[in-house]
Structure 1
Amino acid sequence: MTKPPINRDTRLCISLSERPSNFGTRFHNRLYDLISLDYVYKAFATTDIVGAVAGIRALNVRGCAISMPFKEAVIPLLDGLAPSAAAIDSVNTIVNDDGVLTGHNTDYAAVRRLVEESGADPAQPILLRGSGGMAKAVAAAFHDAGFTQGTIVARNPATGPALAERYGYRWQAELGQTTAPVLVNVTPLGMAGSDEGALAFPPEEIEAASLIVDVVAMPTETPLLKAASGKPTITGAEIIVLQALEQFTLYTGVTPTEAQVVEAADWARAG
């Protein structure tokens, strides 16, 4: 069966971000091709989240991925939240059911699965940098996986303490001399662009850690992951595939085969 050409009935899915990557566009469209679904996916950069969400309603866009910095700002614009988003007040996915917009968070499920599969000891403290929407998902995933000791490092005097208090973690504005066996970067440090060369933690802390987590997906090998060579890691490249797969299923109602997911992920990374 061949995927139909784009026509008036083709369903549109999109992503909204200030700094969009090409991964989601290639991943979703490759799966549409492999499964012969009458969908098309397009990434958009925007600074007007209110207008963009209005466009989702007006144009009957089926689904939308939400990236930094809109994961919290989008919430008042929606009609409701799924449990995955309501539990952490952060949205990375919008599903449009005949004009009713529901927010989901597929980051949480992806990170929790990877944390549990890592085999890391939940008795170990974590040190997490960041306090934005993605940090909410990551902190919740660690906490719900049994990691009850931790420190949130974030300069924001409102979101940092609030995130730490929510999960019984400590908060501090700067990294200082604090370290932990589990180091987690949920900041743009190491991301392609102006922060690409930045290292989220000092080399000596990385050397002493037992698990390194970096949510930055582009580039796939960040300075932090390079410094952690040989150590157990959870990478942004892994997270982005799992969360995008759940988005795909929410939008289409179809669950691809493992082989199809691998092919789509390889195709996306090659672009």
Structure 2
Amino acid sequence: MGVKPPIGRDTQLCMSLAARPGNFGSRFHNRLYELLGLDYVYKAFTTDDLAGAVGGIRALGIRGCAVSMPFKEAVIPMLDELDPSARAIDSVNTIVNDGGTLTGFNTDYTAVRMLLTSHDVDPAMRFILRGSGGMAKAVATALRDSGFERGTIVARNETAGRSLADAHGYDWTADPDPAGARLLINVTPLGMAGADADALAFAKPLIARCDVAFDVVALPAETPFLAAARAAGKRVVTGAEVATLQALEQFVLYTDVRPDRSDVEAAAAFARA
């Protein structure tokens, strides 16, 4: 473990902006700063004045900012540049400040692409993706750019579902195909802690027919969908992995330091505790 300097005038500030700030990002980043002895501090914020907040990032030399809903698209006109990861989906979840130049990135997109590769998910698989919101857009674009050509977007909102499907060359339906698919992906709140905690994102017959179950829900890490998939002997990709990897890629963008795996795992465990 490094020795983290006390907070002083040279300390670099990183932050997040969300309608409902959580603790994962703050705990993850600050724990890594401690483990690596970096002179940084991270703080979560919310705002009713997005333009003012972004102006403050520039004016105060804040090094980086994570961006959550509902600001991911609204922030784009306020930035100077977009990385290809953000341009691909017109959505920003990370701002990096280089001497007053603000560049938008999307590490959700990056994380999903990396996980599809690291879990050896075959692009020849047909998939069913449930959801049509901002994160669904990031996942669908990551699938398309990773070579997945056969897929269906499942969304009750026909306008949003068809728009997402058409933009990426996929099909749309309001209900999952009873025949199922080899890859099932949940990008809805189904299974998330709260009102939908007990909801199963896909019916058990569909789970029985799949090879890989991918749930973007990060809390809890083991959703009913993933529990059912594990019980059926399926490979799983978890939302906790997405949350950790996208936060790690933000950390690297802010600090130019890539921690080793043990430090990342320690910080992720600390953040979830």
TM-score exceeds 0.5: yes
Are the equivalent residues in 1 in contact too, given 2:76–2:92 (CA < 8 A)?
yes
Instruction: Check 1:16–1:190 CA distance in 2 against 1; reply closer, same or farther (3 A cut).
Output: farther
Q: 1:68 to 1:227 in 2, by over 3 A?
A: farther
Which residue in the other structure is 2:121 paired with? 120
Change (3 A) 1:77 1:156: farther
Query: In 1, are the aligned partners of 2:179 and 2:206 still within 8 Å (CA)?
Result: no
Rounded to whole Å, the distance in 2 between the matches of 1:35 and 1:217 is: 25
CA contact (8 A) 1:154 1:171 kept: yes
Offset of residue 131 of structure 1: 2.0
Q: Deviations over 1:85-129 (max 9, x none)?
A: 111212111111222211101112211121122233322211111
Aligned partner of 2:69 in structure 1 is 68
The 3-state SS of whatever aligns with 1:128 is strand
> Would you say the 8 A contact 1:123–1:148 is kept in 2?
yes
Q: Which residue of 1 aligns with 2:110?
A: 109
Q: Does 1:231 align with 2:234?
A: yes
Counterparts of 2:77 and 2:241, CA distance in 1? 30
Once structures 1 and 2 are overlaid, which stretch shifts more, 194-203 or 122-131?
Answer: 194-203
Partner letter of residue 132 of structure 2?
A: S
Matches within 5 A, 1:121-160: 121-160=122-161
* Amino acid across the alignment from 2:134: G
Distance, in Å, in 1 between the alignment partners of 2:204 and 2:52 is: 43
Report the equivalent of 1:9.
10
Q: CA deviation at 1:214?
A: 0.6
Range with bigger deviation, 246-255 or 201-210: 201-210
How many residues of Structure 1 are paired with residues of Structure 2 in the alignment?
A: 270
Asked if 1:269 is matched to 2:272, the reply is yes
Q: Matches of 2:247 and 2:186 in 1, distance apart?
A: 20
SS in 1 for 2:43: strand
2:23: which partner in 1?
22
Question: Identity percentage over the alignment?
Answer: 63
Q: Match of 1:70, as an amino acid?
A: F
CA distance in 2, matches of 1:167, 1:107: 17
Shift in Å, 1:174: 4.1
The aligned counterpart of 1:38 is 39
Q: Which whole-Å CA distance do the structure 2 matches of 1:228 and 1:68 have between them?
A: 29
Q: Which runs of 5+ in 2 are unaligned?
A: none
**Secondary structure, in 3 states, of the residue corresponding to 2:114?**
helix
Query: What secondary structure sits across from 1:228 in the alignment?
Result: helix
Cα gap change, 1:51 to 1:206, in 2 (>3 Å): farther
Q: Aligned equivalents of 1:52 and 1:152: distance in 2?
A: 35
Query: Are 2:246 and 1:243 equivalent residues in the alignment?
Result: yes
Q: Kindly provide the amino acid, as one letter, of the partner of residue 17 in structure 1.
A: A
**Is the CA contact 1:126–1:181 (under 8 Å) kept in the aligned structure 2?**
yes
Deviation for aligned residue 1:162: 2.3
Q: Say if 1:148 and 1:167, in contact at 8 Å, map to a contact too.
A: no
Using the size of structure 1 for normalisation, the TM-score is 0.91
- In structure 2, what residue type is equivalent to 1:241? T
- Is the partner of 2:185 in helix, strand or coil? strand
Letter in 2 for 1:29: N
Partner of 1:205: 206
Note closer, same or farther for the CA distance 1:46–1:175 as it changes in structure 2 (3 Å cut): farther
TM-score, structure 2 length as denominator? 0.91
Q: 3-state SS of the aligned residue for 2:20?
A: coil
